[in-house]
């Protein structure tokens, strides 16, 4: 219940923050795809803790093990079992607050729902759960590339009130990964890093925005009415820990425009046939991709764990105070970049396979963008 995503390309994740392991079962992956496990590991390395001074210092190698669904380097079409062992759990760090509800965490709500919870590190609500999503998303990325020249790239677009100045059409993964913040604007990245370290020093946290572009997505992906492409993308991205907002295309900024200003005029194109002059729709119209790059943003709140004493209540409803311990990110944005990419890849490959299953062929409209 609640741990699955996808229809034809379906992923189920499992595991808790300080348990023995986390993992995923990937069902519906087409057979015969040459799976590059080094590329899967590379995505996990982008997400893993301890990779820089900007993130939690929990020491995890996050080495993925493939238990099933792969033979002689190619997918079998059967369920792919993935597992990542927890190497550095520290549940004792949470012993002192096992009965106190941390502000803005899932402690209270998990108790309200289940009456029993894994209090060490937030259990299933921990961002540690996302290691399984990234492993599954790395497989989805390779499936996408087998279907067409699709490129999914995300980056940190804003930290707190610091905004990057980026030409989205030319952003590359290499430019994103060139610094620890994962912002392709070097000057903004330097300011963002300083801000994150500043708030960390005083025991506080900051949030921001990750922007993601999917290039080469063909027209025709997405199902009306309730399975619109942007609706599924929104659900996938908002399922990430700390995600509190989602926009596609111009999003909320489009409300400041008139219809004439906001419309994307169709224009002929000698190379690709049909394109739009602008992309205010973010590559999706009527819930279906139109062949232009899919453009979206995900807002992440400041990390809820701050190393300052705070007022709260215990499980009995008595007022108390707590001072958190443990290892936590002062800002989730640098590690959220591969998370957003993973969720976008999962949704796109699922809708592509659904489209192929419906019409039995590749989309007829040429790839745009």
Which residue's structure tokens are 């096992």? 98
- Taking only the tens place, the pLDDT of each residue in 5-38 is 999 999 999 999 888 999 999 999 999 999 999 9
- The three-class DSSP label of residue 68 is strand
Query: Please, what's the largest Cα pairwise distance for the chain?
Result: 70
| Per-residue tokens: 290 | 């139109």
Asked if residue 16 belongs to a domain, the reply is: yes
User: Measured between alpha carbons, how far is 183 from 165 in angstroms, rounded to an integer?
Assistant: 10
Contact in structure between 132 and 13 (CB atoms under 8 Å): yes
Give the dihedral sign, CA 95/99/103/104: positive
- The three-class DSSP label of residue 256 is helix
Contact in structure between 244 and 297 (CB atoms under 8 Å): no
Could you tell me how far CA 366 lies from the centroid of its own chain?
Answer: 28
| CATH number, domain with residue 208 | 3.60.150.10
User: Measured between alpha carbons, how far is 309 from 303 in angstroms, rounded to an integer?
Assistant: 15
Contact in structure between 322 and 193 (CB atoms under 8 Å): no
User: Measured between alpha carbons, how far is 134 from 334 in angstroms, rounded to an integer?
Assistant: 14
Asked if residue 355 belongs to a domain, the reply is: yes
Q: What is the CA radius of gyration of the chain?
A: 21
Residue 363 confidence class, pLDDT cut points 50, 70, 90: low
Query: Domain range spanning residue 327?
Result: 4-359
Half-sphere CA count of 312, side-chain side, radius 13 A: 22
- Between CA 74 and CA 81, with CA 75 as vertex, the angle to 5 degrees is 125
276 sits in which H/E element:
strand 273-276
Beta bridge partners of 151: 215
> What's the pTM?
0.94
User: Measured between alpha carbons, how far is 211 from 234 in angstroms, rounded to an integer?
Assistant: 13
User: Measured between alpha carbons, how far is 122 from 105 in angstroms, rounded to an integer?
Assistant: 8
Asked if residue 309 belongs to a domain, the reply is: yes
User: Within the chain, where are the H helices?
Assistant: 37-47, 107-114, 130-147, 173-176, 186-201, 229-238, 259-262, 333-359
Which residue's structure tokens are 């009456």? 115
Can you give the pLDDT at residue 13? Answer: 97
Asked if residue 160 belongs to a domain, the reply is: yes
User: What number is the average pLDDT over the span 67-74?
Assistant: 97
User: What number is the average pLDDT over the span 231-245?
Assistant: 97
Contact in structure between 252 and 299 (CB atoms under 8 Å): no
User: What number is the average pLDDT over the span 292-305?
Assistant: 95
Q: Angle at which helices 333-359 and 229-238 pack, to 10 degrees?
A: 150
Least confident interval from 25-29, 88-92, 281-285: 88-92
CA proximity to 139, closest of 219, 215, 50, 34: 34
Asked if residue 243 belongs to a domain, the reply is: yes
Asked if residue 369 belongs to a domain, the reply is: no
Asked if residue 364 belongs to a domain, the reply is: no
Asked if residue 368 belongs to a domain, the reply is: no
- Taking only the tens place, the pLDDT of each residue in 109-161 is 999 999 988 888 788 888 899 999 999 999 999 999 999 899 999 999 999 99
Can you give the pLDDT at residue 361? Answer: 58
Number of domains in the chain: 1
């Amino acid at each position: 219940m609640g741990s699955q995503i996808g229809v034809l390309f379906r992923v189920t994740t499992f595991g808790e923050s300080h348990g023995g392991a986390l993992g995923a079962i990937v069902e519906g992956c087409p057979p015969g795809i040459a799976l590059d496990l080094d590329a899967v590991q590379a995505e996990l390395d982008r997400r893993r803790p301890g990779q820089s001074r900007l993130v939690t210092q929990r020491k995890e190698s996050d080495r993925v093990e493939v238990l099933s669904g792969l033979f002689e380097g190619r997918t079998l079409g059967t369920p792919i079992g993935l597992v990542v062992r927890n190497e550095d759990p520290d549940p004792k760090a949470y012993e002192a607050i096992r009965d106190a509800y941390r502000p803005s965490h899932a402690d209270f709500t998990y108790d309200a729902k289940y009456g029993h919870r894994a209090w060490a590190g937030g259990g299933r609500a921990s961002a540690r759960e996302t290691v399984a999503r990234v492993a599954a998303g790395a497989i989805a990325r390779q499936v996408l590339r087998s279907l067409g020249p699709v490129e999914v790239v995300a980056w940190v677009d804003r930290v707190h009130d610091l905004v990057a100045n980026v030409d989205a059409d030319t952003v590359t993964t290499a430019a994103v990964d060139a610094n620890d913040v994962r912002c392709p604007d070097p000057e903004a990245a330097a300011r963002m890093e300083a801000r994150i370290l500043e708030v960390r020093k005083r025991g506080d946290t900051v949030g921001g925005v990750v922007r993601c572009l999917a290039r080469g997505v063909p027209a025709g992906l997405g199902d009306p009415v309730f399975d619109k492409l942007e609706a599924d993308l929104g659900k996938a991205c908002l399922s990430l820990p700390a995600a509190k907002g989602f926009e596609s295309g111009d999003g909320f900024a489009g409300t400041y425009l008139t219809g004439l200003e906001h419309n994307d005029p169709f224009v002929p194109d000698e190379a690709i046939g049909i394109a739009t002059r602008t992309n205010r729709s973010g590559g999706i119209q009527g819930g279906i991709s139109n062949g232009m790059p899919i453009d979206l943003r995900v807002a992440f709140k400041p990390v809820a764990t701050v190393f300052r004493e705070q007022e709260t209540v215990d499980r009995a409803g008595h007022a108390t105070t707590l001072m958190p311990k443990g290892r936590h990110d002062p800002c989730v944005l640098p590690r959220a970049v591969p998370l957003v990419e993973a969720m976008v890849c999962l949704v796109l490959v699922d809708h592509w396979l659904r489209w192929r299953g419906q019409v039995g062929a590749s989309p007829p409209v040429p790839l745009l963008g």
